[in-house]
Chains A and B, each alone.
Chain A
Amino acid sequence: MCSLCGILGSNEHWTDAVARPGVFTRNTERVDRRRERAKRVRIASRILTEFGMTLSDWQGSSFLLSTRTGKTEMVEDLGHLWPLAEKISGRVCDPLSHALIERLEGGGDA
């Protein structure tokens, strides 16, 4: 458990075993790690915008998931992101939704 925020430690999520070794290791390639987190926040937020939410970095260790009305949850990894997103938004986050796909295919940032 993290003594600062009280988050229970868990298995490393498969998405953290990134293709470029070291990116998610704190002691090496710190710049790459930050760049990867920033990219994750950017792409996730682009998708989450469609459901009225955003993702932001928190202390370089976790993420903050927020709705437009201010509901906020801390997310440890991508394994927890989507269940929490559905919970706090009250919406179904379905990547096979025609509406979502068409919006994303529309291109560019929201």
Chain B
Amino acid sequence: MRKLYYLIYILPLAVLISCSKDLPTELAYENYVFSSTDEDGGNWTPILLSSGSEIMIAEPKETSSAEYQAELMEVKNAIASITSQQKENLKKWTNNPVIRWNEIALELIAKYNLIPGPNEDGSYTLPNPANPEGPPVFPFSHPPYASRALAYMSVAQFDGLISAWHYKYKYNRAAPYLQDLEINHAYEENPIPSYPSDGAVIASASAEILKVMFPLEVEYLNSKMSEHLESLLLSGENVQSDIDGGVKIGEEIAALALTRASTDGMKNAQTSKAVSDSIANAAYERFGWMWINQEAPQRPVGLTPLFGKVKMWSVPNVEAIRPPVPPTPGSPAYEEDVKILKGYLAEHSEEYRRIANFWQDGLGTYTPPGHWNEFANAFIVKNKLNTLRAARTMAYMNMAIMDAGISCWDAKYYYHYPRPIQTIEGFETIASTPNFPSYTSGHSVFSAAGAEVLAYIFPDEADKVRGWAKEAAISRVYGGIHWTFDATVGTTQGINAAQYSIDRAKIDGGDNF
């Protein structure tokens, strides 16, 4: 009996200890040796700038100058009194902070990806950029919003880094740790000139974009930026003037990107009820059906009916990739789909459930565009890309994803096709039905576009990522919220949309190595 009591006390203790998990809050990676330095990166074709030299920064002081020597001393002193927290920060930011800023964006997307609930009287209040505190708070970072925030941030990083590369190899100023051997270098050696700091370009471009996309997070983003800029100095890779040059580039390219954003049509995407009704009626006139929100209380306007009119990055004309008309409800092709959906629901398959949940990326998460950014982050580290190539990957992928989203939304509100819960009597779902028309599936289009760009940049992963995109597409059918043709046609649509970005990437100079 004593033995039994002993076991009673020991067993749970053992369980407690063995089960204590360190739950990851970011991608785990160490700083690394880049697979290339891309000396000609300053000649690559940017997205918004005419060339890498368009943004002007001052010519750096000679390394022999008193000013530069004083800056070296400042670095030395800072490193000499480094705190344990600052050491942690160095480890966290690494020498590829493109990933960390991407993760900050994903975190803010997840934080603000909350759909406003109804008011007491059953009405809904929409987030208002003029009054971001709300309630409800601004923004509601749904998938179109997320795709756009990520695209502008990545494009600003990429253009800013082309500019930085231009000056790095123009002035060829070596890093502080090479100037003074007493300066400790925190990271692996990469022979890339230090003026201007690429890290500072990434920090300031990212922070400036995100501050506008998430206006309530200005303080948080400023603190992240100062922490990062401080790390650049403490790493031994940059003096203050390297950082200042980078910040200047970051601010200028962010301003340019934000100018484009202010006139890209997004501010008109969420329409009035009158406009929304006229869009629905036009579809009804044209096809004889229309999507109707099934929530209670009913939402009067779907999500961003005019996102399909937002300015695209690489596709000249959204109608060029508009998919064909979906099956008419009641037609044999439609009825076949009803049977398939009912079959999935009845099957209670744990495998379908797993797939539906793995790809759900619903409210409160980083959205499907965010999921593909997470994949891209991992591939960037795996392939040891430098910051310029990392930003290039993200820029083309996120432009393609946003273009695909615009194309998807064009189809959604042009065809205004009903969701399964609207037309199948008594139908139930295991995923949450979103507040916009069914055809085509956003997950399918976003995912196919993301996968195509990743397949182009990382050809070894092509089969894998294309397989993921197909699974993401069908996951929505398993979830009960999409028709199979929403998924299959959406995949093709995403591939088509991405091709324009890939064609552009092929001639930007980045492939010439």
Do A and B associate with each other? no
Interface residues of A (CB under 8 A from B): none
Interface residues of B (CB under 8 A from A): none
